[in-house]
Amino acid sequence: MRTGVDDVISNFDLVLQGFRLTIELFVVSGILSLLFGTALAAMRVGPVAVLARAGALYVALVRNTPLLIVFILATFGLPKLDVQLPFFVKGVIALTVYTSAFVCEAVRSGINSVPLGQAEAARATGLTFTQTMSSVVLPQDRPPPSN
């Protein structure tokens, strides 16, 4: 009588291929989610109201959608729109779309934790919004408060 362990051992090459695919999806979609999520966070805290609302709508819709639904849309919805992509790319798109909303909220909360005076001082010196974000607000490295 065969056990589940025997099946895993006899198909170990497939298990390793699946593990490799999982790691590749994790790395590629993680990097893209970090980039897209940071851009979304900048939109949400930026001075352009239309972009802030669009970012908020995206985050609200995607965060309240189950990941399985996002995968189903990427797998079956894209071909209905005549978009033919490899399986790996569909997986990256689904994971990036889903995870970037969570990254956006994490980055936005970090941006909002920066004292307002720092951003105002940067703007007073003539820095644009993009320069303020990239040179003052995002690279914060504050030590924990001492008691």
Burial status of residue 84 (CB atoms within 10 A of its CB: 0-12, 13-18, 19 or more): exposed
Whether the model pTM is above 0.75: yes
C-alpha distances in Å from residue 6, one per residue of 11, 14, 18 = 8, 13, 18
pLDDT at position 144 is: 61
d(CA 71, CA 99): 12
Question: Who's near 16: CB < 8 A, 6+ residues apart?
Answer: none
d(CA 130, CA 147): 35
DSSP label of 11: T
pLDDT at position 110 is: 86
In the chain, how long is the greatest CA-to-CA distance? 77
- pLDDT exceeds 80 at position 4: no
**89-98 pLDDT tens trace:** 999 999 999 9
66: its two tokens: 């189950």
pLDDT at position 111 is: 84
pLDDT bucket at 102, cuts 50 / 70 / 90: very high
pLDDT at position 146 is: 67
| In contact, 25 and 91? CB cutoff 8 Å | yes
| In contact, 17 and 88? CB cutoff 8 Å | no
**7-63 pLDDT tens trace:** 888 889 999 999 999 999 999 999 999 999 999 999 998 889 999 999 999 999 999
